[in-house]
Chain A
Amino acid sequence: MIRRKRTCWTAILLVCVMLVSGCSIWPGQNDSSSNKKVALTLWYWNRSIDDKLIAKAKEKFPNIELTAQKIGGDFKAKLKTTLAARSGEPDIVALNDWIMELFPSEDRFYNLYDLGAGDVEDQYLDWKWKQGVTPDGQMIGFPMDTGPTALFYRADLFKEAGLPSEPEEVAHQINNWDAYSAAGEKIKEKFGGKVFLTDNIGTVYNQVLSQGTERYFRPDGSFIGMDSPLVKQSWDTAVSFKQKGLLANADGWTPGWNAAMNNGEIASFVGAVWMKQVLQEAAPDTSGKWRVTRAPGGDGNNGGSFLSILKSSKHPKEAFEVIQWLQSPDNQLEQYKTLNLFPSAPGVFDTPAMKEEEPFFGGQATGPVFAESAQHVPEAFFGERYPSVHNIITRRLNDIAKQNANPEQVWPDTVQRVERELQR
């Protein structure tokens, strides 16, 4: 009996040893071998930083052991759970334009101003820089790429409908949303309703809103109210596009959108610079027919990213050196060439690489159009609750566009839902 018991215990012990030895829990194995190199980890997503540039950074900083991890899946959710768990945090992390959601947790990040970011502030677009600064004046995000917007349009369809087709003429004649809407009616008439002016109601609302100087909140955090002139104007413009039948109701990132673009059912849309890539992949058959010009109603921004240093990092100084180097104007230009990431450093806008002619856009050099737009983006405060309010409104607009809900009834209901949302 005793013998059997002992074998039993030995077996359990063995299993435990095998389980534990599977995952190495002894730290510091690397420290001894690498002469006190500073170890830094960096989280980014595919195509947000050029992999070759990261390889170069490792050469550039021989005293730093940089581990760059490409995080797949839902990047934001992964970052937030890691922040909540307070363990396994990287030193440097890339953030998308949802950076404002993290402003309430600014104490979890280093203030980049403390690390010397102020010295290079004048090299970057002012409005972009300010998007990384919290209302308390802490800078938690260093500028990466931006998303200046412009009007993408089909020159051939515009011409056929009797509209101007050269970029300068289009920008000159279709310079506000009313003129744009009138152009849409001409297109609709000419093609018997088979070609739509633009893709969906959300695009219209977003773009009108992005051209303004205010969103839903004031910098002190208070709610401007749904009767803000800009919100009302964006809403009314979007609804009028629906009522005039100018929308193809094709949602972005769907096969239907790709097909509608490729089949020439959509004549134009206002989109950010990164839509160039999306469009080229979605609509290869329309190559050479697209042009880009300054958007009706003004310039705006949609998207763009930042780099941050988490407070848990033990080497903020070195981390900041890496960030500053990765996003230096020259390296941003490098990444424009390799990954089409639009620089946030206006100093490189005049370089030949930014003025290259593109066959997809009929030989037009679209770089200068976006560069011009990027320099005129109005500065606006978002606030950490921007996404939830914005989401409620765009959802209700979709009901109007696709289920023919009555705008007169949807508006008060939307106002009520937003107000309820803000109470919790």
Chain B
Amino acid sequence: MWEHRALYVAISPFYILFAVFGLFPIAFSLYLAFHKWDGIGVMTYNGLNNFKYMLTDAEFWQAVGNTFMIWIYATIPMLFFALIIAFLLHAPFVKFRTLFRVGYFLPNVTSIVAVAIIFGALFANNYGFLNYLLQSVGLPVVEWLDAPWGIKVAISSMVVWRWTGYNAVIYLAGLQSIPQTLYEAAKIDGASGIQSFFRITIPMLRPVILFTVITSTIGGMQLFTEPQILVGNDGGTGAAGMTIVLYLYRESFINNYFGYGAAVGWGMFLIIALFSIVNWKLVQGKSS
């Protein structure tokens, strides 16, 4: 090993950067979770108090509930639309395919702050575009940003808008890796289009679907910028848009409970880990 030291030095930047910006913060947040610290003064050992407080904190559990609701509102339509879009893009009759692929990817690289401002204008209670549409067809206005479900719908729609194209492109890659011969064989055996979609496409896509479900689980659990910009640090009316990360941010950087914030971070880690395992079992379950 020693004789290759030059090569190890050459690959060391990643490990050094990871140790400084990845490993150290993780270890430090674990240390912090057992302390009381306002961010400036002295740290005092606090034992398990932060965790005890978290488990009995109504606001924390509300944030967990909100995060799951928003995740469900967002992920199901998002993956459904993504699959349909990918299927259409893959279909032989579609022209200008590259253009569409780029187009569907565009929302993902748009500044999230700009997106949140536009969605804020769409969903605004007074003078919002959606309410304008509702009014112009004679329907009553909806107080989107004051109703608990309305806030969640608004946040979810931002997630759907931003990530559908991204997932569609991943599904498209999955579709393209399915050997054409399978479809040809099915055709010869007299299978209909729908049959080959459910019997060939979906099973062959399973690993890709699993991948998108896991990534959107992790992404959905870490939702932060959308609610923060749309409804503010307090999660909007009745804290209906308060997600776990937003709560972590508010407790740490607004209320200066850094130790508690670290504990919430570790709580979130456990939730994501558990939830990912459950998802994995569910999606994987049938094939094994």
Contact = CB atoms under 8 A, between A and B. Distances in A.
A108 B40 contact: yes
B260 A104 contact: no
A424 B49 CA distance: 9
A5 B126 contact: no
B269 interface: no
A12 B255 CA distance: 46
B197 interface: no
A402 interface: yes
Given A83-B40, A402-B237, A424-B260, A256 B10 contact: no
Contact of A403 (B38, B127, B146): B146
A256 B143 CA distance: 12
A395 interface: yes
B237 A403 contact: yes
B124 interface: yes
B41 A12 contact: no
B6 A9 contact: yes
Interface residues of B, number: 31
Nearest to A398: B237
Given A84-B40, A402-B237, A388 B255 contact: yes
B63 to A, nearest CB: 14
A83 to B, nearest CB: 5
A77 interface: yes
A259 B147 CA distance: 21
Contacts of A80: 39-40, 253, 256
Interface in A86-129: 101-102, 104-105, 108
A391 interface: yes
Nearest to A101: B256
A403 B238 contact: yes
Interface residues of A, number: 32
Contacts of A77: 253
Contact of B10 (A12, A254, A403): A12
Contact of B127 (A12, A83, A256): A256
Interface string B224-246: 00000000001001110000000
Interface in B44-63: 49, 53, 58
A388 B255 CA distance: 6
Contacts of B119: none
Contact of A391 (B6, B41, B234, B257): B234
B145 to A, nearest CB: 9
A260 B40 CA distance: 41
Interface string B103-139: 0000000000000000011001111000000000000
A12 B6 contact: yes
B185 interface: no
Nearest to A405: B238
A255 B256 contact: no
A328 interface: no
Given A256-B125, A403-B148, A403-B238, A105 B256 contact: no
A179 interface: no
Interface string B256-281: 11001000000000000000000000
Given A80-B40, A395-B239, A260 B126 contact: yes
Nearest to B53: A424
Contacts of A399: 237-238
Nearest to B38: A104
A83 B38 CA distance: 11
Contacts of B9: 12
A405 B147 CA distance: 12
A48 interface: no
Nearest to B146: A402
A387 B233 CA distance: 14
B112 to A, nearest CB: 16
Contact of B39 (A5, A84, A387, A395): A84
B287 to A, nearest CB: 45
Interface in A390-422: 391, 395, 398-399, 402-403, 405, 417
A12 B12 CA distance: 11
A14 interface: no
A77 B257 CA distance: 13
A73 to B, nearest CB: 12
A290 B40 CA distance: 45
A402 B239 CA distance: 12
Nearest to A258: B127
A5 B6 contact: yes
B76 to A, nearest CB: 26
Contacts of B40: 80, 83-84, 102, 104-105, 108
B82 to A, nearest CB: 32
Interface string A231-260: 000000000000000000110001110011
A259 B237 contact: no
Given A5-B6, A77-B253, 20 more contacts: A12-B6, A12-B10, A80-B256, A81-B39, A101-B256, A102-B40, A249-B125, A249-B146, A250-B126, A255-B120, A255-B124, A256-B124, A256-B126, A387-B255, A395-B239, A399-B237, A402-B146, A403-B146, A405-B238, A424-B260
